[in-house]
Structure 1
Amino acid sequence: MAMKWIEALTGSLEQKKQYRQDKARIDGLAEPYGSAAKAMHRYLLNTSGIVDGDVIIRMLTDLADLWETAAVDGTPVHDIVGDDPADFADTFAKAYAAKEWQDKERARFVKALEDAKKEERS
């Protein structure tokens, strides 16, 4: 009972545990993969706009998998991200399309304009 109450306030404890595990995997990568993975992790969290915790965790787990595999295989960082790392990261995030924080504002904006149109007609 207490766990449900705590999770209602703080969010899923399982998600937090998985996040910490994935972050530790990224932090444990050899260079240059560690730096690249950390930079992409930070970029995705700040720019993806994804607000669904399950989707974020799935994306970050896949991110850790990607960079761990690259490190094991010795794949050059450039071969992974190409000439435009931001485009690569944006495309990576789009594969996890989910509800974004902008969706709420879009809906609010559209409703406001529809209400304005109704007032014009009145």
Structure 2
Amino acid sequence: MMTNWIEWVTGSLADKRRWRAYRARVEALPAPYRTAAKGVERYLMYNGGTDQGELLLQMFDDLAELFEGAAADGTPVREIVGDDPVEFVDTFKSNYGIGSWITKEQKRLTAAIEQAEKEETS
């Protein structure tokens, strides 16, 4: 009973543990991979917002796994993200079906203009 109330107020404790585990994995990476992973994470936090917590946690777990594997193999960071890191992250994010909040607002704007156009012709 008490745990349910606490989780209702603070959010899922399991999700918080999972987030902390992800952060620990990133902190354990060698410096160049840690720097890159933190950069990707920051960009995703600002540009990849979603209310789908499970998908977001899965995406970050996969991100940590990607950089852990690259570090173990000695793959250079640039080979992971390519020439355009923004394109890499946007493509990475799109594999999870997560759109950013701006995508939602772009669709709303388009729908509003289409509705206005219909109203003009009525």
Normalising by structure 1, we get a TM-score of 0.82
**Quick one: distance in 2 between partners of 1:73 and 1:8?**
42
Q: Structure 1 14/82 Cα, relative in aligned 2: closer, same or farther at 3 Å?
A: same
* Cα-Cα RMSD: 2.4
Identity of aligned residues (%): 43
1:42 aligns with 42
Q: Structure 1 40/100 Cα, relative in aligned 2: closer, same or farther at 3 Å?
A: closer
**Quick one: distance in 2 between partners of 1:10 and 1:49?**
19
Q: Structure 1 107/11 Cα, relative in aligned 2: closer, same or farther at 3 Å?
A: farther
1:93 aligns with 93
Q: What count of residue pairs does the alignment treat as equivalent?
A: 121
Structure 1: runs of 5+ lacking an equivalent: none
2:74 aligns with 74
Q: Structure 1 85/107 Cα, relative in aligned 2: closer, same or farther at 3 Å?
A: closer
Q: Structure 1 112/7 Cα, relative in aligned 2: closer, same or farther at 3 Å?
A: farther
Normalising by structure 2, we get a TM-score of 0.82
Offset at 1:106?
6.2
